[in-house]
Structure 1
Amino acid sequence: MSIAPFQALACPLDGDPLLRDGAVWRCAAGHSFDVARQGYTHLLPVQNKRSRDPGDSKEMVAARRRFLNAGFYQPVADAVSQAVLGHPQPGTVINCLDAGCGEGYYLRELAAAAGERLSMFMLGVDISRWAVLAAAKQDLRPNWVVASNAGLPVLPQTIDRLLCLFGFPVYAEFARVLKPGGELLLAEAGADHLRELREIIYPSLKPGRAPSKAAPEGFFHLGTDTVRYTLDLVAVEQVTDLLAMTPHLYRAGAVGLAKAAALKTLAVTVDVRLLRFGRQ
């Protein structure tokens, strides 16, 4: 039983299978993609970029790495691992993709939870090269790829478990790469997620988005769980990192950011919904 890199990659230019030859991935048409010395591969064609450096910035990734590695979201990671692993039979093999993997925290926690119980072939995809670089630096067992959820460089029907945690789901692509009977796990912010921080940085709060009752096309509901607890931040750096790793850093105005910068401690609610869907 082991953790190993997922290999069924597809060429982002023509969709043909990619085969690894040393430090290069190649397809039959001759397209080639180098594996960076840090251990990740860039499979996002320049014509598919919407900006020069898309996705999370280097600073945002660093803040998220510090915050998550400190264990503040450990209950969320534990719930994700339980939803993915369940109670596997001996000899189980799972191909797992984290679409929007960030700096790889949840895949690392999943690998730790799997232990010696089963074999997992892991792939982490993110549009931010800074995120993928950080993920590769922390664990080289999964395959780490710079790519977009809108065009996953993955062969059809090769994934057993697909994670999209606080990311941007593209259900048609997810349905394409999942095996029939495969499962999709989404994590999204609940109505009270980080409420105390949001009350400080915004003049008023918008109503929370109600969870959709309809399953995405091509999927059916398997269940919904909630992870909810209070997080006590007792250092200025912890509060700063929490804000810096979220989109609120860019959405809040100058007054709200100044209020957040003055905080020395903060008790904040974590409220996360985990939604499981089966592939029809």
Structure 2
Amino acid sequence: MLSPMPDLICPIDKLPLFPQEHCLKCEQGHSFDRAKQGYFNLLPVQHKRSKAPGDNKEMVNARRTFLNNGYYQAISQTLNQTILAKHLNHSNILDAGCGEGYYLNQLLTQAQQQNINLQACGLDISKFAIQAAAKSNKTATWLVASNKQLPFPEHYFDTIFCAFGFPVYQEFANKLKNNGQLLLLEVGEHHQIELRQHLYPSVKAYSAIDLQPAFDCGFTLNDQQNIRFELTLKQAELQQLLAMTPHLYRAPKQGLENVQQLESLTVTIDVILYQLTLSDTPATTCNQ
């Protein structure tokens, strides 16, 4: 079932956008065409830091192949259960930094199995990621846009989730309903530790996510769940995993050669799901 078009606002003048035949327009005449894949680009050039921000085609393709093989299914399942335990029909859901759409696609599939209709939207700054997402799923709304300027009315979403992305707490607080839910997927201390040991002469000390900026914006931490399991990956899967992470560009040449010489490697996946709720009393100390 096709998800209804969400309410959207113009990223230039913040006025409501109205659907036309093949585009969105605001009263000031700003127009945003619908791409042939079905998404809208609401990231104006003046808001970009580079010509093609976000993940490139190679990273998108590697992550799509890796995730579609089910290696992170346990992470997706935990996220889905957390969202669907709270929401009934017609809840507004945003995947903020959706990449190629894997987690939102998995959520919509499970919601459909439970006869729950969600109004779902995924956005990312990478045009290549959104193109892939829009091709893979026609039931959600897909946008090229930034977490720094979410093109939605205030107090619009029931849940926002951000999977290994870049949360912008003040913007999330503005767009969530009172008592709305924010879910963050972040890496744990031992995430991919075996791979990192092959890549780097010494592994950096773990630094947990600092949630104080979220608390300053009115969020409270309700729960956190650790998701930890092991994967035994062959060389082809290891290269996919590398290509979908910054390690491919950060690791020294010798480290990459070390990984290329492996026939297989057992890798620890260590992820934390943080479940936060927006207070019905707006915070006044958020500095984001």
**TM-score, L = length of structure 1:** 0.95
Which residue identity lines up with residue 266 of structure 1 in the other structure?
L
| Structure 2: gaps spanning 5 or more residues | 280-288
Whole-Å separation in 2 of the counterparts to 1:94 and 1:3: 14
1:212 deviates by: 3.8
Partner of 1:198: 196
Aligned 1:43-82 pairs, distance under 5 A: 43-82=42-81
Partner of 1:223: 223
Partner of 1:149: 147
Partner of 1:29: 28
Cα displacement string for residues 177-197 of structure 1 (whole angstroms, at most 9, x for unaligned residues): 111111000000000000000
Cα displacement string for residues 192-248 of structure 1 (whole angstroms, at most 9, x for unaligned residues): 000000000011111111354645322111110010000111x32111000100111
1:3 deviates by: 5.4
Whole-Å separation in 1 of the counterparts to 2:117 and 2:60: 29
Whole-Å separation in 1 of the counterparts to 2:5 and 2:178: 18
2:185 corresponds to 1:175: no
1:260 deviates by: 1.4
Partner of 1:260: 259
- Check whether the contact 2:197–2:203 (CA below 8 A) recurs between aligned residues: yes
- Check whether the contact 1:149–1:173 (CA below 8 A) recurs between aligned residues: yes
- Secondary structure of 1:13's partner? coil
Whole-Å separation in 1 of the counterparts to 2:222 and 2:4: 27
Which residue identity lines up with residue 227 of structure 2 in the other structure?
V
1:88 deviates by: 4.6
Whole-Å separation in 2 of the counterparts to 1:143 and 1:103: 13
1:153 deviates by: 1.1
Whole-Å separation in 1 of the counterparts to 2:78 and 2:239: 26
* 1:157–1:208 distance in 2 versus 1, CA, 3 Å: same
Partner of 1:39: 38
1:21 deviates by: 1.2
- Check whether the contact 1:6–1:95 (CA below 8 A) recurs between aligned residues: no
Which residue identity lines up with residue 173 of structure 2 in the other structure?
A
Cα displacement string for residues 27-54 of structure 1 (whole angstroms, at most 9, x for unaligned residues): 1211110000111111101011101110
| Structure 1: gaps spanning 5 or more residues | none
Whole-Å separation in 2 of the counterparts to 1:98 and 1:276: 14
Whole-Å separation in 2 of the counterparts to 1:196 and 1:9: 44
- Secondary structure of 2:80's partner? helix
Q: Percent identity?
A: 46
Aligned 1:108-147 pairs, distance under 5 A: 108-115=105-112, 116-147=114-145
Whole-Å separation in 2 of the counterparts to 1:209 and 1:10: 36
- Check whether the contact 1:3–1:119 (CA below 8 A) recurs between aligned residues: no
* 1:27–1:277 distance in 2 versus 1, CA, 3 Å: same
- Check whether the contact 1:159–1:178 (CA below 8 A) recurs between aligned residues: yes
1:10 deviates by: 1.0
**TM-score, L = length of structure 2:** 0.93
Partner of 1:165: 163
Measured on the aligned residues, the alpha-carbon RMSD in Å equals 1.3
Task: Name the stretch that deviates more: 223-232 or 80-89.
Answer: 80-89
Whole-Å separation in 1 of the counterparts to 2:123 and 2:198: 33
Whole-Å separation in 2 of the counterparts to 1:134 and 1:52: 19
Which residue identity lines up with residue 189 of structure 1 in the other structure?
V
